[in-house]
A = this chain, B = another copy of it.
Amino acid sequence: MASDANAPLRSGPEVRDRVRWSDVDIMGIVYYGRYLRFMEAAETEFFRAIGFPYGVLSEQHGVWIARVRLECDYRAPAKLDEEIVCRAELQKIGGSSMTFAFPIARAADGTRLVDGTLVLAALDRTTLRATRIPAPLLAALSTAPL
């Protein structure tokens, strides 16, 4: 039985928001940089869902999560007031890194708008250097209910 190389290990909760006035450019479509806010919401809710919101990671485990690589493929434009749906899909876990895909779609018809990817790294809160993913987070990435 073949496995799908791109199948996510885990999928986080769906986040939804509307395209706001401030998201849209002179062409009447979402500015490319503004999709990061949907990705950020989806990423944040993924970590909250597995029990590790950023505050807990920082205060209890001394770790910040930083971004080390970003990719966005823009496939279709979104317009003012359209509802957008996004979720974080964990694709890969390394020693100190995690790779997430962020499919972003128009809620009304499911049209894929953007394929986002982020590589995150665990940083020691004091030195801001890469550090190993704390064991409890590592366990939760694999097994926490979602």
Contacts and interface: CB of A to CB of B under 8 A. Distances in A.
Interface of A: 18, 20-22, 24-29, 31-33, 36-37, 40-41, 44, 48, 53-55, 64, 66-74, 77, 80-81, 123, 128
Contacts of A33: 22, 33, 36, 40
A125 to B, nearest CB: 8
Given A24-B26, A37-B22, A68 B77 contact: no
User: How many copies of this chain does one complex carry?
Assistant: 4
Given A37-B20, A40-B21, A128-B27, A73 B81 contact: no
A83 to B, nearest CB: 11
A123 B27 CA distance: 10
